[in-house]
Amino acid sequence: MSTPKTAPAIELRDVRKSFGTTEIIRGANLVVPKGQRIAIIGPNGAGKSTLFNLISGRFRPTSGEILLNGENLSGLRPFQINRKGLSRSFQITNIFPRLTVFENLRCGVLWSLGYKYSFWHALERLRDARRRTEEVLELIGLERRRGTMAGLLTYAEQRALEIGITVAGGAEVILLDEPTAGMSRSESEHAVDLIRTVTEGKTLLMVEHDMSVVFGLADQISVVVYGEVIATDTPEKVRANARVQEAYLGTPAEEVH
Ligand SMILES: Nc1ncnc2c1ncn2[C@@H]1O[C@H](COP(=O)(O)OP(=O)(O)OP(=O)(O)O)[C@@H](O)[C@H]1O
Ligand SMILES: [Mg+2]
């Protein structure tokens, strides 16, 4: 048995999830070592977002175990898992469009600092929150947009804000679901730099379709096909893996950039 000290950040043991009679996740196994950046790739409908919903506690597995730092998450609610140091973004942009950039980030920070039911604690909490919000604002490069309503940002800025909200609370394990979807080449290059910066020293699990983003960021790639993790390996080895090419990439290795 692994001890919590040496335990991986995330571990999935034979996880299954059915919706009605349809089994969507069919015995998924995955180990994400602490401090690694892992990209999940796989065809549409393979179950990637469902895996994120299971890990973050939004869905409960039908069977199997999910561990965070060696601790079984069974029965925990999303906010409890969040307090244990796991934070996620959604595939669809998930911000408060009528709040400013600053207010959006502060929400993420306040949420993570937790509730303390006393006036003095509340004041202290607001000071801490302001400081941390400023830090994150700088980290994501949106200082000049601090007073702008989030709904008025460009799409790429909204996604950057969302990444900021996700990391605002200082979680050590970050899950990003297609953070560069819908971006231009230069926007996604910028997003890769941002993701690298904000996840420095942390564990990242990221769903990503764009191969240049995957190869630019990931230490390892896990391939999800039809509700199973069929391979986990270095980007180079995954690129060369015949089973992966057949199941997912559908092209000879040379064509994958
Ligand atoms: N809440 C739900 N109820 C019923 N079926 C669901 C639910 N959520 C997901 N599914 C189904 O599970 C399958 C996997 O969906 P999921 O969103 O996890 O795929 P994905 O790998 O993230 O795909 P994409 O690349 O398109 O984002 C799909 O067939 C989807 O319709
Ligand atoms: Mg998805």
Using the predicted structure, report yes or no on whether residue 125 has a pLDDT greater than 80: no
> What confidence category does residue 220 fall into, taking pLDDT thresholds of 50, 70 and 90?
very high
Burial of 252 (0-12, 13-18, 19+ CB in 10 A): exposed
The DSSP annotation for 117-177 comes to -SHHHHHHHHHHHHHHHHHHHHHTT-GGGTTSBGGGS-HHHHHHHHHHHHHHT--SEEEEE
Asked, for residue 242, whether it belongs to a domain, the answer is no
For residue 253, the model assigns a pLDDT of 45
Q: Higher pLDDT residue, 88 or 91?
A: 88
Average pLDDT of every residue of the chain: 90
Q: What H or E segment, with its residue span, contains residue 13?
A: strand 10-19
CA distance 175 to 196: 13
Ligand 1, atom 25, lies closest to the CA of 44
Domain count, the chain: 1
pTM metric for this prediction: 0.90
Ligand 1, atom 3, lies closest to the CA of 19
Asked, for residue 147, whether it belongs to a domain, the answer is yes
Asked, for residue 253, whether it belongs to a domain, the answer is no
Q: What mean pLDDT is predicted for residues 205-217?
A: 92
Q: What mean pLDDT is predicted for residues 78-94?
A: 89
Asked, for residue 148, whether it belongs to a domain, the answer is yes
Q: What mean pLDDT is predicted for residues 110-119?
A: 65
For residue 92, the model assigns a pLDDT of 79
Q: Is 202 in the pocket of ligand 1 (CB under 6 A)?
A: no
State which residues form the domain around 123. Answer: 92-170
Ligand 1, atom 6, lies closest to the CA of 19
Q: Which of 24, 175, 205, 206 to mutate to test the pocket of ligand 1 (most atoms within 8 A of CB)?
A: 24
Ligand 1 centre and the CA of 50: distance in Å?
6
Asked, for residue 114, whether it belongs to a domain, the answer is yes
For residue 116, the model assigns a pLDDT of 53
Of 67-71, 82-86, 91-95, 136-140, the range with the lowest mean pLDDT is 91-95
Asked, for residue 163, whether it belongs to a domain, the answer is yes
> What confidence category does residue 255 fall into, taking pLDDT thresholds of 50, 70 and 90?
very low
Using the predicted structure, report yes or no on whether residue 216 has a pLDDT greater than 50: yes
Ligand 1, atom 1, lies closest to the CA of 19
